[in-house]
Amino acid sequence: MSRIAYVNGRYLAHREARVHIEDRGFQFADSVYEVCEIRDGALIDATRHLDRLERSMGELRMPAPMGRAALLVVLREVARRNLVRNGHVYLQVSRGVAPRDFPFPAGAAPTLVVTARSKNVAEAEARALKGVAVAVRPDIRWGRRDIKTTGLLANALAKQHAREHGAFEAWLVDERGFVTEGASSNAWIVTADGALVTRAADHMILRGVTRTTLFDVAAELQLRIEERPFTVEEARRAREAFMTSANSIVIPIVAIDGAKVGDGAPGPTALRLRALFHASAEATQV
């Protein structure tokens, strides 16, 4: 079956989907995006994803392409037309098409693109049970990482470095030596006394939706969370480390730049959080 994409009011074969060459998303990365998990035919945490989308557009003074209810219909329809039961739906909003110039164009209509695809659930579960390695890189991104824009070149460079060094993810480190987050995930450690540590969600990191829902899971389990920076060295000495994102949910980290975390095996806390995550997450049927 041919994949289907939504572009500005039309459902098109994926290979035929197009945007204008002067779309500001292409010219300036003047665009924002969200990735929402689909699990057993339901959109996971759609409300929080759309809340964050609206915040990102607001921070960039970008008009919405349509109302929330209509956008939710489009997300569901794209998932349905692509027969996605387990996977992800991706949506991107740009400021629209205008002659190339840096200031915001007057009257440009936003561009909306939505796609969806399935994932190999067994492969994802096997990765989580095995755990992954991360590679450390300097954080060279712009200063508003709290806005989920498509300006991801620094993230792509970090991911490429990780791949070339046999790692699944890159951890980005600020100028003071503290981990900010992963190239496409939030970073966590578990201390010797069982506390969960992750950096506070300010302008230095993206407030991950999975990260936010994990706070609910931790509260139910009566686990303490410390929102503070941690260094790579503290992470190496930690009892556990893990990453969170809509693509990966919770994945244990077993090595940092080749050095084992804990005993080098996935930790029980991370695996338990992964197992219980969807019981706390919102599920909106497609």
Residues with a catalytic annotation lie at 148
Strands 42-44 and 111-118, by their bridges, are unpaired
- Burial-class residue 156 by CB neighbours within 10 Å (0-12, 13-18, 19+): exposed
Residue from 118, 135, 138 nearest 247 by CA:
118
Backbone dihedral angles phi then psi of residue 166, each to the nearest 5 degrees = 70, 20
And the tokens for 73? 């219909």
- Burial-class residue 41 by CB neighbours within 10 Å (0-12, 13-18, 19+): middle
Contact 79, 43 (CB under 8 A): yes
In whole angstroms, what is the distance from residue 135 CA to residue 68 CA? 38
In whole angstroms, what is the distance from residue 113 CA to residue 92 CA? 5
Residue type, 194: G
- Residue showing tokens 């609206």: 54
